[in-house]
A and B are shown apart, each in its own frame.
Chain A
Amino acid sequence: MNPLRQTFDEGLSELSDQLMEMVDRVIEVYDNMFTAIRTMDIDMARDIIENDYTINALETSINELGNLLILKQCPVARDLRTIITTIKIANELERLGDYASNNALYIIKTVGDNETFRSHFLSYVAPLSKMFYTMKTAIEEESMEAAGKVCDLDDDVDEVYQKQIMTFINIVGQKESVTAEEAARAMLVIKQFERAGDHLTNIGEEIIYLAKGERLTLN
């Protein structure tokens, strides 16, 4: 292989490694976030917030390397799509990291709140975890099938979200011990879960674009 192409391939490989590191980091953050919700572990929640910068730093690094590869290698065809989709996926992952931080902050700020809502948050563990791990497979294998599945799984998250909105409204009406402020805060939390599903779907769409070269809107 020509040496310049080899240098380019090494750059693409580095980009891919950084993306997978970011994927693993975000998955770990969500696992920790749900554990913190379950156990009301304030320290763990604080760690999530304090370490969010590592996810942001990876996104910056991916952007810089991607820009450099475009600048120096003038990529076309799949090479160009690989770089563009990696940059876009990194952006989605960064947002996912932010949502986890926001929810970790909720855990810290609501230690004394009524626990009624908190138990509902764990309903997102199963559908979101499934989406995260399928997303990882889709990226690792550049699999259109897995990417399509990620998009399909978002329906499960949306379904939980829609049901919980009504449940939360009813709880406020039925339980005197629950304040409207607590309900509003809890609504913000589940909105972040619902948005997390949307961002994962966006990642699925990016993988499909990488594989097919066509933009599909599955969100």
Chain B
Amino acid sequence: MDTAFKIENLKVAYGETVALKNINLELYPKSITALIGPSGCGKSTFLRTLNRMNDLISICSISGEVYYHENNIYDKQCDVIELRKQVGMVFQKPNPFPMSIFDNVAYGPKRQGVKDKETLKQIVEKALKQSALYEEVSDRMDASALSLSGGQQQRLCIARALAMEPEVILMDEPTSALDPIATQKIETLLDDLKKEYTIIIVTHSMHQAARISDYTAFFYMGELIETSDTNTLFSLPKKKQTEDYITGRFG
């Protein structure tokens, strides 16, 4: 099977504190992989290693290999800007820029040098349509992004990521700050987006992982305990730790 990412012997530490121990994992393209585990288990740290967001943390040290397609993204030759363009990220709390809806989505392409207004308009429109937000904002593109509801802001952030035409979207608990209706819209959107994008999502909701993901990886205390297709992991987990976690016996 093709892989989007191949992770080999990955170790991450913050100063003296080991966050990830010897992780080996393959992530598959055009699918949703859910990362689950209790707080502090290393799943968000793992997510951030996939587009080198941990580089921004000075005390963070990383060893091992993270292959994005054929290339180890921790090689010195790796173009981190290009990597982050291909591997976008959406955070837990919607974080629109304090500017218009249009400018939020156009921000990335503009920074990449797209100046033509018609091209920008097309990019913004496409991204907003992909994120299922266009119909709700098409008549107020100049309004402040901060005037949108939480769910709309999160879809705007997804549109902002999509505008960069990434291949992979990393999501760190993207619905934890949203109500059930907004959550449902995001989940429906993700199900649609996986036809074209590789999505890796950190979630604390076991049922969200079961509902939307194709593959699930369970982390505990910095270790990858078990990974498999989601149906198997939630019906017949191999490891007792996994069963205990997903059935609420600990964590």
Cβ 8 A contact of B237, one of A2, A4, A77: A77
Q: Establish whether residues B246 and A77, one from each chain, have CB atoms under 8 Å apart when the complex forms.
A: yes
Q: Does B95 contact A (CB under 8 A)?
A: no
- Provide the residues of chain B in CB contact with A78, threshold 8 Å: 243, 247
Q: Establish whether residues B247 and A79, one from each chain, have CB atoms under 8 Å apart when the complex forms.
A: yes
Q: Does B67 contact A (CB under 8 A)?
A: no
- Provide the residues of chain A in CB contact with B243, threshold 8 Å: 77-78
- Provide the residues of chain B in CB contact with A8, threshold 8 Å: 248
- Provide the residues of chain A in CB contact with B250, threshold 8 Å: 2
- Provide the residues of chain B in CB contact with A2, threshold 8 Å: 248, 250
- Provide the residues of chain A in CB contact with B25, threshold 8 Å: none
Interface string of A3-14 (1 = CB under 8 A from B): 011001000000
Q: Establish whether residues A76 and B249, one from each chain, have CB atoms under 8 Å apart when the complex forms.
A: no
* A84 CA to B208 CA, complexed, in Å: 21
Q: Establish whether residues A4 and B234, one from each chain, have CB atoms under 8 Å apart when the complex forms.
A: no
* A81 CA to B237 CA, complexed, in Å: 13
- Provide the residues of chain A in CB contact with B207, threshold 8 Å: 74
Task: Give, as a whole number of angstroms, the nearest-CB distance from B75 to chain A.
Answer: 40
* A186 CA to B250 CA, complexed, in Å: 57
Query: Which secondary structure characterizes the binding site on chain A?
Result: helix
Interface string of B197-211 (1 = CB under 8 A from A): 000000000110010
Q: Establish whether residues A76 and B236, one from each chain, have CB atoms under 8 Å apart when the complex forms.
A: no
Q: Does B235 contact A (CB under 8 A)?
A: yes
Cβ 8 A contact of A5, one of B206, B235, B237, B248: B248
* A85 CA to B235 CA, complexed, in Å: 14
Interface string of B122-163 (1 = CB under 8 A from A): 000000000000000000000000000000000000000000
Q: Does A126 contact B (CB under 8 A)?
A: no
* A78 CA to B236 CA, complexed, in Å: 7
Chain B interface size, under 10 / 10 to 19 / 20 to 34 / 35 or more = 10 to 19
- Provide the residues of chain B in CB contact with A77, threshold 8 Å: 234-237, 243, 246-247
* A147 CA to B246 CA, complexed, in Å: 27
Q: Does A80 contact B (CB under 8 A)?
A: yes
Cβ 8 A contact of B206, one of A4, A76, A213: A76
* A81 CA to B243 CA, complexed, in Å: 13
Cβ 8 A contact of B235, one of A1, A4, A74, A213: A213
Task: Give, as a whole number of angstroms, the nearest-CB distance from A6 to chain B.
Answer: 10
Task: Give, as a whole number of angstroms, the nearest-CB distance from A124 to chain B.
Answer: 37
Cβ 8 A contact of A75, one of B236, B237, B247, B249: B247
Residue of B at shortest CB range from A74?
B207
- Provide the residues of chain B in CB contact with A81, threshold 8 Å: 235
Interface string of B229-248 (1 = CB under 8 A from A): 00000111100000100111
* A76 CA to B236 CA, complexed, in Å: 9
- Provide the residues of chain B in CB contact with A75, threshold 8 Å: 247
Task: Give, as a whole number of angstroms, the nearest-CB distance from A38 to chain B.
Answer: 46
Cβ 8 A contact of B246, one of A1, A4, A76, A213: A76
Chain A CB within 10 Å, residue with most, of B207, B235, B250: B235
Q: Establish whether residues B248 and A80, one from each chain, have CB atoms under 8 Å apart when the complex forms.
A: no
- Provide the residues of chain B in CB contact with A76, threshold 8 Å: 206, 210, 234-235, 246-247
Interface string of B205-220 (1 = CB under 8 A from A): 0110010000000000
Known: A76-B210, A81-B235; 16 extra A-B contacts, CB below 8 A, are A1-B249, A2-B248, A2-B250, A5-B248, A74-B206, A76-B234, A76-B235, A76-B246, A76-B247, A77-B234, A77-B235, A77-B237, A78-B243, A79-B247, A80-B235, A213-B236
Can you list 12 contacts pairing A with B, beta carbon distance less than 8 Å? A5-B247, A5-B249, A74-B206, A75-B247, A76-B234, A76-B247, A77-B234, A77-B236, A78-B247, A80-B235, A81-B235, A213-B236
Q: Which positions in B face A, CB cutoff 8 Å?
A: 206-207, 210, 234-237, 243, 246-250
Task: Please give me the 6 A-B residue pairs with the lowest Cβ-Cβ distance, nearest first.
Answer: A213-B236, A5-B248, A76-B234, A79-B247, A76-B246, A77-B243
